[in-house]
Amino acid sequence: MTPADLATVEALLPYTAQALIGCLGPAPAAALLAARPGCTLLIPKHPDKHPAGAKRWDELAGIIGEEAMHHLAKRYGGDVIDIPTCKQARDELRNRAIRKEFDRLTREEKLSGNQAVYEVGLKFAPISSRAIELICGRADAGQAEQQDLFA
């Protein structure tokens, strides 16, 4: 996930991901969420207090940058944190990519709906044709509902 991705699915992110974004900023948080989803980490308080902490500090600083690592240590140093997988947000991003590819295939390449579903299935495998059809029949999550024209 990129910082731009995080912004588009912000409402679908778990509180822990939003807290990381608030602590680190979008780019370092996106890097950490992408590099260590689902991991449980003991956050070191200092960069060189003891060998294991120094190793973890260097590992995380390599992912998020030294400045962000200082922010992470200031907020969570000595704590064990779970890096969320952000499954709902990742699924939504995948679904948007599926809808975009389906639209491109049917509009630009003039494929039939069935052929487009087949091609999308190959690109996003493993996924069933029925799942693709259901995804393509829905709007993006978090989008406002279309208003009634005659209300």
pLDDT digits (tens, 9 = 90+) for 68-117: 999 999 999 999 999 999 999 999 999 999 999 999 999 999 999 999 99
- pLDDT for residue 120 is more than 50: yes
Which token pair is 106? 């049917």
Which contacts (CB < 8 Å, 24+ apart) does range 14-18 have?
A: 14/84, 14/86, 14/88, 16/81, 16/82, 16/83, 16/84, 17/84, 17/86, 17/89
| pLDDT at residue 150 in the model | 52
pLDDT of residue 76: 97
Which pLDDT tens digit goes with each residue over 140-150? 886 544 445 45
pLDDT of residue 144: 45
Q: What percent of the chain has pLDDT over 70?
A: 93
What confidence score (pLDDT) does residue 142 get? 62
User: What band does 37 get if pLDDT is binned at 50, 70 and 90?
Assistant: very high
* Mean pLDDT value across residues 49-59: 91
Confidence of residue 118 (pLDDT cuts 50, 70, 90): very high
